[in-house]
Amino acid sequence: MENARVGLQNHMDIRSFALDGPLEIYPVRRHDTRGYFAEIFREDLFCAAAGPVHFVQENESRSDLAGTVRGLHFQADPMAQGKLVRCSQGVIFDVAVDLRPRSPSFGQWVTTELSAAKGNQLWVPAGFAHGFCTLVPDCITTYKVTQYYSPEHDKGLAWDDPDLAIGWPTVANPATLAAKDRAQPRLANLPRALFTKG
């Protein structure tokens, strides 16, 4: 899905998708003979594009094998999380699914490839499920979140729900799923009351 540029600064290039909410962010890298320098997050520029956001926790996962699938995950209200996702090593196929009950794009999704080489990031707003598949071995994924982890509100969605029909890469390996992700419900079986906003 094509994304459109919504802001280009000397610091970062911020692009929107046809689906309202998610953003793709490319930090501007300044190169010299030593390598490069980049500002990977600026609150002022980010909030100008995404709206008021405050991050409270940062997480990191390592996936040893290509084809590792993680997700689709989200937290329900009142602990719904926005996530700013970055692949700091390797390449991942990243997915955000709109679960906002009053959204005209409910059940629709966006995807992009995040890589250490590009340094790009995906903003996944609260009210979206998130997941990814590693495209190469030894991937490290980091993400800032807007709410603390809450086991009580931790929810999921079947990554391969045929009603979603996400175009996962052929390398995606169901054998890599965590036990909880093998038993996640389909979209049709999710209560709409999980999110009271949006």
Which residue among the candidates 11, 26, 31, 143 is catalytic per the annotation? 143
Residue 26 a catalytic site member:
no
Which residue among the candidates 11, 26, 54, 73 is catalytic per the annotation? 73
Residue 143 a catalytic site member:
yes
- DSSP code per residue over the chain: --EEEEEE-SSEEEEEESSSS-EEEEEPEEEETTEEEE----HHHHHHHH-S----EEEEEEE-STT-EEEEEEE-TTS---EEEEEEESEEEEEEEE--TT-TTTT-EEEEEEETTT--EEEE-TTEEEEEEESSSSEEEEEEESS---GGGEEE--TT-TTT-----TT--GGG--GGGGGPPPGGGS-GGG----
Query: Would you please indicate which residues are annotated as catalytic (active-site) residues?
Result: 73, 143
